[in-house]
Amino acid sequence: MEITNDIKYVGVNDHKIDLFESQYVVPRGMALNSYVILDDKILVMDSVGGDFDQEWIDNILKATDGREPDYFMVQHMEPDHSKNITTFMDRFQKAVIISSARAFTFMKQFYHNDYPDRRIVIKEGDTLPLGRHTLHFIQAQMVHWPEVIMTYDDCDKVLFAADGFGKFGANDTPDEEWESEAARYYFGIVGKYGRNVQNVLKKAAGLDIKVICSLHGPVLKEDLGHYIDLYDKWSSYTPEKEGVVINYTSVYGNTRKAVEILAARLKELGCKEVIVNDLARTDIAKCVADAFRYSKMVIATTTYMNDIFPYMRDFLFHLAERGYTNRTVGVIENGTWAPAAAKTMTSILGCCKCINYTDTTVTIRSALDDDTAADLEELAKELTE
């Protein structure tokens, strides 16, 4: 696939994978992207993971028409990209490997070789001329690991963004919406490092970018402002959309009934978007992404073993570790003899800053009654004020 006259796609689509990073469901597979820049010198940008060594090497040879690459750029050492570094270096004996100092440390740890006689160590601000193209290296620490370097090609105005602007899903699955799978990917994998993403966006703002080449997902060529704006919102913890997401668990259906009543009332009161997720039956990465994408959230669960229902505990842990902040939150608890779920939930989120809790907390004693119905009405009003 041609990206520009000089830049070719040589990545692969992984449809054998079940769980990305052994935790994220990827029903449409995963794209492991790699690129070749053809100039006086030939550079290959990143390896691919999985068992795609031969397919990847074949793609490179086809793109270069059999010419041997001069350079091999490693932007990110996570094994979904780095696994075939050794394959490349063994196959193309004249190639020089380029990466950050930290990446070479990780390379030695993972693959027991850091190529001391065949390498160039680069850092922020360094450049590499290939002929018409000059590459500019941008430190992108913690987007998503500490060694990450992004690369800007000043000839074709391409930003090679490492994991940035990536998404779940293979590139040969047609008509898949970018936003939801990119959000699930971002908040699952990179979301903890919003400040670092903001730092990179500030650097990128000074560049004339016409194409974004991520290591996952499609090459972005159109409407780049839309994608950059989303990344700016996501990484600054600004709600992307006005709306209420209700993340709940229910053991026997009584908490679910409360959630259904609340969702219906929110819609009647004019809330345009109400998203309801049963945490026991919905992909956790989708629930986490929804919590960050929307302006308001309701959490509803039961007291369970003197704690809270495990799916809710796990979900709240994901929010807390990713720095959930700057949201309005309403709480519904259910308990038959000693309801304490509200206290436990807010305590887990205690480390999250700028959470505006609603005045109304709904306590259900086993099943709905007139008091809980009135409290749900109050909560709905507060959330739509």
By Cβ distance, which residue is nearest to ligand FEO? 78
Smaller CB separation from ligand FEO, 200 or 352: 200
What is the Cα–Cα distance from 86 to 89, expressed in whole angstroms? 5
Smaller CB separation from ligand FEO, 215 or 362: 215
- Give me the least distance between CB of 336 and ligand FEO, in Å please: 44
Question: In this structure, what are the phi and psi dihedrals at residue 277, rounded to the nearest 5 degrees?
Answer: -120, 120
Smaller CB separation from ligand FEO, 36 or 162: 162
Q: How far, CA to CA in Å, does 350 sit from each of 172, 319, 360?
A: 43, 11, 18
- Give me the least distance between CB of 71 and ligand FEO, in Å please: 21
- Give me the least distance between CB of 203 and ligand FEO, in Å please: 19
Q: Which residues bind ligand FEO (CB under 6 A)?
A: 76, 78, 80-81, 144-145, 163, 215-216
Smaller CB separation from ligand FEO, 14 or 80: 80
Q: Can you give 328-358 as a three-state secondary structure string?
A: EEEEEEECCCCCCHHHHHHHHHHHCCCEEEE
The string over 125-155, giving b where at least 16 C-beta atoms fall within 10 Å of a residue's C-beta and e elsewhere, is ebebebeebebbbbbbbbbbbbbbbbbbbeb
Residues 6+ apart with CB under 8 A from 264: none
- Give me the least distance between CB of 80 and ligand FEO, in Å please: 4
Tokens matching residue 224? 């780049």
DSSP single-letter state for residue 212: E
Smaller CB separation from ligand FEO, 31 or 299: 31
- Give me the least distance between CB of 380 and ligand FEO, in Å please: 41
